[in-house]
Amino acid sequence: MKKVITMLVMLLVFSTAAFGYAPMGSANNDDITGHVLEGEMRKAVELGILGGYGPGRYGPNDKVTRAQFATFLTRALKLPAAQSTFSDVPSTYPLAAGIGSAAGANIVAGYPGNTFKPEQNITREQMAAMISRALEYKGMKVAPQALTFTDSAQIHPNFVEAVSKNTYLGIIAGMPTSDQRFRFAPKDDATRAQAAAFIVRMLQVLETGDSLNDLYKTGTIVNGQVRMDSQAYLTYQQAANAGKDLIYQGQTLLKMKNGLVVANPPARQEIVRIMDATKSRQLTYVVKGTELQYINADENWVHVRYADGEGYIRQSEAWLIPTELQKGRAQYTVTNGVLHYRGFDHFTGQYEWARPYSDAPAFMQNGQVYYSLNGYDFFNASGQKVGTAYQYFNFLPLRTKTNYTAEDLNRYIASLNITTPNGKHVATESPLLNLGHVFIEAQEKYGINALYLYGKAIHESNYGLSVIAEQRKNLFGYGAYDSDPLGNAKPFNSFEESIHHVANSMNNRYLTPGGDQYRGAVLGLKGHGMNVNYASDPLWGQKIASHMYRADNFLGKKDYGYYTIAKTTTAGLNVRSDASTSSAAQFQFPQAGHYVAYVPGRNQAGATWYQIFSDHKDHQYGYVHGSYLEPINIMKR
């Protein structure tokens, strides 16, 4: 529909005298003050569309009869007089005039037998039908649109088109649910406040000649419900200048005070890209459903915190959920000294399986729930920080070596009493039962921790029993994409070949400085490490670390905490071939925050240098000046 935007329209939209409402305060000591639809109620009273019951009493939650709503419409549209011909609306009926005028304009219709049932409460879908006919009476033509209300199927077929047109025009906004979707409640009896809202918005549409969904509205959250203001704005900036907590465009929330942002790419788009402050360079990417922390927003972009970084995602790919409306969120729980991670699916409202992740740090208590965006800074339900601790395997430099043998790795698989969704029993049917020696061989050849490769294979191939593993001998889903996993997955001649191929690729591309995907030689998160560019799942690194943790627990905890891990504290730090500034640099850590592992028994060379496992594939060890290293606190009981 072509916009009709003139100075008159702008005055009508933005003037308090047009469609604004009296501000709340002690002067409004009535039963409208604080109501979710206070603005529309006040405008309807001001325009003389509906009256009150006495001083301070307007009954916003009272039910509305069919006769009353017909009368409201007659007053709002100043309809010409006409006689009612309904058999149950005699001329002596108090609201006969309003019903007659509405009937004369073909805005109201009766029931079989020429009855109107004036005292029957009007439903929300019936109200929408009358509004739709009123728009037609005023000459406004609207093409129906698809409905997305959660209860659209409950709308009577005779009223679907009317509800659709009203929704497109923004007259019907629906009622926000706790998961930020909207329901219409078509069979519910309408209230006086809802009747006022429908009619006032109808008048706005008739004045502007366009959908209110193209305009911006503000609101606040009161007692867990969104309270929309009636004032509409032509631009986002004008709405932002109003200083309210929420800014909507139609049913889309664009700005809030605080809360979560859920990655929500449009159909047929697999990922959401997180961009830098210039909006021109991609920092990383995440899969649909990823939780991000809201920082701020404008009309086009949402500023978010992800794991251990900050960036921007497009408004069209973001689902904003204010803190007060959250049904759940990802959490960490402690059971018998073990820290578990529980994801939350915001689209289904269901928590996922609680995955064992690590030893719980001393500052956590059994039975308590904790929250963390980055997996190492933890907060309680009140938002207070309780401590910082790192999951060892998630931040272990992967150039280290495991303490386990090939036989140990095989023994772990043989111990698992797990049946996969396709009915396979891991302990007897997994090909990983006899591949321990290949992981150890890859460790020696490529300088990559065998327990990491092992945990990665378990995660990516469901213990070697996935369709890709069975049909392509591909233990890592290598080459697969979310849209067509099997079709793109690289085929191998044997499982051994797939292990060596992937280890070699990790060695050259992800784990050595200068590699095209090097972001630090740890599993890490979306802000650092392999997980930045390896997988769209922001928990990919955590999930592999969880498998490593569980295998290590069974095999005797020989690996967890074996190496001392430190974090670099400055950008441009040289890793040298000897403990001297005159020694050649193997490479530089480009930013602060890279993780290194001390070589056991040779932690310190001289007074200020530490020997570490080098990230570079051509060097087993390197030296770093100790002034720029800070040991991290590992999760442990």
pLDDT digits (tens, 9 = 90+) for 89-128: 999 999 999 999 999 999 998 899 999 999 999 999 999 9
CA 350 to chain centre: 14
Distance CA 21, CA 320 (A): 27
Of 495, 392, 400, nearest to 443 by C-alpha is: 400
- Rounded to an integer, the average pLDDT of 580-589 is 94
Of 465, 437, 470, nearest to 453 by C-alpha is: 437
Residue 14 has pLDDT above 50, yes or no: no
Q: Domain locations in the chain?
A: 7-64+121-211, 256-325, 331-388, 406-555, 565-631
pLDDT at 222: 85
* Domain 256-325 and domain 565-631 have a common topology: yes
pLDDT at 13: 31
Residue 234 has pLDDT above 70, yes or no: yes
Fold designation for 565-631: SH3 type barrels. (2.30.30)
Cβ(274)–Cβ(263) below 8 Å:
no
pLDDT at 17: 29
Percent of the chain whose predicted confidence (pLDDT) is above 90:
74
DSSP string, 270-281: -EEEEE-TTSSS
Percent of the chain whose predicted confidence (pLDDT) is above 70:
92
What CATH number has the domain spanning 256-325?
Answer: 2.30.30.40
H helix runs in 152-310, sequence order = 160-169, 192-208, 236-241
| CA triple 344-347-352, angle to 5 deg | 25
Fold designation for 406-555: Lysozyme (1.10.530)
Residue 36 has pLDDT above 90, yes or no: no
Cβ(149)–Cβ(217) below 8 Å:
no
| 568 CB burial (10 A radius; 0-12, 13-18, 19+) | buried
pTM for this one? 0.74
pLDDT confidence tier of residue 4, bands split at 50, 70 and 90:
very low
Which is it for the CA torsion 508, 511, 512, 513, positive or negative? positive
